[in-house]
Chain A
Amino acid sequence: MANTHPGQVSSMTVKLVLAWGFVGIPLTLGVIQTLLNAMKLFQ
């Protein structure tokens, strides 16, 4: 993103946050749920 306008950079940052959030949030929730279930191994 070297030769880009500052406005373009901030718009790309927003897209990055949205895209990673779109896949990251459900995956994180799933991982937390699995970890909670896995804790039963140690109870």
Chain B
Amino acid sequence: MKSLSFLDRSRTVAEPGFSRWLVPPAALCVHLCIGQAYAFSVFNLPMTRLVGISQSAPTDWKLTELGWIFSIAIFFLGVSSAVFGRWVEEGGPRRAMFAAALCWAGGFFVSAIGVYIHNLWLIYLGYGVLGGIALGIGYISPVSTLIKWFPDRPGMATGMAIMGFGGGAFIAAPLSVWLMGKFNSATHVGVAETFIILGVVYFFFMMVGAAIVRVPAPGWKPAGYTAPTTAQKLITKNDVFVYDALKTPQFWLIWWILCLNVTAGIGVLGQASAMSQEMFPGHITPLAAAGFVGLMSLFNMGGRFFWASTSDYIGRRNTYFVFMVLGFVMYCTVPYTGSIGSVAAFVIAFLIIISMYGGGFSTVPAYLRDMFGTRYVGAIHGLLLTAWSMAGIFGPVIVNYLREYNIAHNVPKAQAYNNAMYIMAGLLVIGFVCNLLVKAVHHRFHMKLDHEAERAQAVVAAAGEPAGA
């Protein structure tokens, strides 16, 4: 379609004089919006009284039913980033950002209808499926573009964008609460109207990102930058085709490293409020626990930038070694902090843990770039995000079920999390071993001419022109 030609990769090539520092805010426009997913829980309680208004009526939705919305969205994040990764990579960032904006806003609009007619399946479809697809496409859309713009600091560049995903909740949570307050009345909770406003605002915000994003011209390099001439063992100068990456042990080792690191972090992130109150009864009130969760979110966001930037100096593999070793020490320390009643030590341990949880997400694109080159890094990253979906199930299950089991066996609540912490520490030991096994990708996986030809044919076919035209 000619009217949509402004989305083409060829229309996004930067002209001389373009500053690469415009690309991180373009990426942030998308990541800050889709990061709203972390704040979706602010709608849970209001959606349990859409019929009863002041309190839940028998026909109102239950919290357990509403919990599925977020789970479906995260599941489709993993699926869509894996399925659409190559499409995102070859179509360019603007087309991907536009698609993400349409799905994200569309998800809110469909959900608003679901709230209006009180049909939960429409919300599963809207926010869960459509929103989840937007999460997957939007999350990977700026990654390879940023890596190409910042060959000198790829960790910092992707860290900045992925920090936005952690920070999106800071904007979304107060904004959503404020909007619901504005539309709230004696006969109305205000959720549907809030969804519509959020859909419009997010679409506009993401389209600004799509409008300003640019890809570098072929052969572009930052002023004064010269690629390292000495060979670095764990940084390749070659590219690996997206589906060939799946055949390498390196891909699966990094998949497990991410999965284990996220499993450890996500398990405590979801339970932080309850855990802090149960481990320190009388010392941490519900209000203080809410403050603790807020502080953890800040460290989750800050850790994404800090650790990814640090990895540019100490190397990706070493950064993950730090995550595994320091994480192991911190998880083993948590039960001890409970036994001596030290709230400060408990808070510090968790803030370090959660910074490394965020750091695990933001450092991995640069790790993949080091292993598989820049050409298909976005698509390979998309495939890797299935590890996140898996960890989203493992982490909370380990923490919640072990707590239930311990309480059922008369373990005091203050000690009910201890063995979960030791299991998390054990997972990081496995992650350490996986990281230790990561070596440079064998040259037989490097892209050869036949893949180049296949890719060129695919691009021509997608453009609808005869081969050779």
What is the interface of chain A, defined by CB distance below 8 A to chain B? Answer: 1-5, 8-9, 12, 15-16, 19-20, 22-24, 26-27, 29-31, 33-35, 37-43
Contact = CB atoms under 8 A, between A and B. Distances in A.
B226 to A, nearest CB: 15
B43 interface: no
Nearest to A37: B294
A29 B290 CA distance: 18
A35 B301 CA distance: 13
A12 B164 contact: no
Contacts of A2: 223
Nearest to A15: B22
B342 to A, nearest CB: 14
Nearest to B22: A19
Q: Which 7 A-B pairs have the closest CB atoms?
A: A30-B170, A41-B291, A4-B17, A40-B291, A19-B25, A23-B28, A38-B295
Given A8-B17, A19-B212, A41-B347, A31 B298 contact: yes
Contacts of A4: 16-17
A20 B23 CA distance: 10
A40 B288 CA distance: 5
Contacts of A39: 291
Interface string B15-37: 01111011001101100100000
Given A1-B19, A34-B294, A34-B298, A27 B167 contact: yes
B208 interface: yes
Nearest to A13: B19
A19 B26 contact: yes
B164 A40 contact: no
Nearest to A5: B17
A4 B17 CA distance: 6
A23 B164 contact: yes
Interface residues of B, number: 34
B361 to A, nearest CB: 18
B304 to A, nearest CB: 13
- Name A's interface SS: helix
16 contacts: A2-B223, A4-B16, A16-B21, A16-B22, A26-B171, A27-B28, A27-B171, A30-B169, A30-B171, A30-B174, A31-B167, A34-B170, A37-B294, A39-B291, A41-B292, A41-B347
A22 B17 contact: no
A9 B292 contact: no
Interface string B283-294: 010011111101
B291 A38 contact: yes
B297 interface: yes
B31 to A, nearest CB: 9
A26 B349 CA distance: 29
A23 B205 CA distance: 9
A33 B18 CA distance: 34
Interface in B242-292: 284, 287-292
A22 B22 CA distance: 11
B296 to A, nearest CB: 9
A18 to B, nearest CB: 9
A22 B208 CA distance: 9
Nearest to B292: A41
B25 A41 contact: no
B170 A33 contact: yes
